[in-house]
Amino acid sequence: MIEHKGADVIKLHYDINPNDFLAAGEASSNVKKILNQLGINPIIIKKAAIAMYEAEINAVIHAEGGCADVEISAESILIKITDKGPGIPDINLAMQEGYSTAPDTIREMGFGAGMGLPNIKRYSDNFGIKTKVGDGTTITIKVNI
Ligand SMILES: Nc1ncnc2c1ncn2[C@@H]1O[C@H](COP(=O)(O)OP(=O)(O)O)[C@@H](O)[C@H]1O
Ligand SMILES: [Mg+2]
C-alpha cells in the first residue's frame, strides 16, 4: 500500500524500450497497479491507464522507445511520454480515427488500428502533443481525480 497524504506528490519514471513488444505496456500497467493501491476511483484509473498505454505503445511502434514521467497528486494524474523518434509531420491527420502509418508486420501483432491518439484525447481531461519532425514527440495527458 502506498501512502498518499495531503500535498504529497508521487513521482514515477520509466524507460520505454524500443521494439520490445513483449514488455510494451509495462509502464502503464505499473501505474495502473499503483493507482489501484491508492484507492483511486476505477473510472479515473481506466481513463489514465488507457491513455498512457496508447502513448506508451506509440513510443514503441512509431519511435525508438522513450520514457514516461508520471506525477500523481490529490488533484490529478499527470503523464508525460517523451520519445526521440521521427516526429509527426501532420498532427491533424494523425489525430483522425483509423489513420495509421503502421506497417503490416506491426498490424499482424495487433497494433496499428489508428485509434490510439483519438482515444488518448478522449480519455484525457487535458491533452497535449508537442512534436517536431526528426526530433521526437512528447504527449502530455492529464486526468483529473
Ligand atoms: N510517438 C510517435 N512518433 C511518431 N509518429 C507517431 C507517434 N504517435 C503516433 N504517431 C503517428 O500517428 C499515427 C496515428 O497514431 P495512433 O492513433 O496511435 O494509431 P496507430 O498507433 O494505431 O497507428 C501513427 O500511425 C503514426 O503515424
Ligand atoms: Mg497508436
Q: Per residue of the chain (145 residues), what is the pLDDT tens digit?
A: 455 555 689 999 999 998 677 778 999 999 999 999 999 999 999 999 999 999 999 999 999 899 999 999 999 999 999 999 999 999 999 999 999 999 999 999 889 999 999 999 999 999 999 999 999 999 999 999 9
Burial of 42 (0-12, 13-18, 19+ CB in 10 A): exposed
C-alpha cell at 84: 526521440
pLDDT at 133: 98
Query: Rounded to the nearest whole angstrom, what is the distance from the C-alpha of residue 117 to the centroid of ligand 1?
Result: 7
What are the Cα distances from residue 40, in Å, to 9, 53, 75, 77?
14, 18, 11, 10
**Rounded Cα distance, 144 and 73, in Å:** 10
For ligand 1, what atom is nearest to the CA of residue 66?
1
pLDDT at 47: 98
Whether 143 and 76 have beta carbons less than 8 Å apart is answered as yes
The set of residues, in sequence order, having a beta carbon less than 8 Å from that of 4 and lying 6+ positions away, is 10, 38, 72, 74
At residue 88, the 3 state secondary structure works out as coil
C-alpha cell at 68: 514516461
pLDDT at 1: 45
Mutate to test the pocket of ligand 1, among 62, 108, 127, 141 (most ligand atoms within 8 A of CB): 62
Query: Rounded to the nearest whole angstrom, what is the distance from the C-alpha of residue 112 to the centroid of ligand 2?
Result: 6
Amino acid 66 reads G
**Rounded Cα distance, 101 and 99, in Å:** 7
Residue nearest to atom 25 of ligand 1 (CA): 100
pLDDT at 22: 74
**Rounded Cα distance, 34 and 77, in Å:** 11
Amino acid 95 reads M
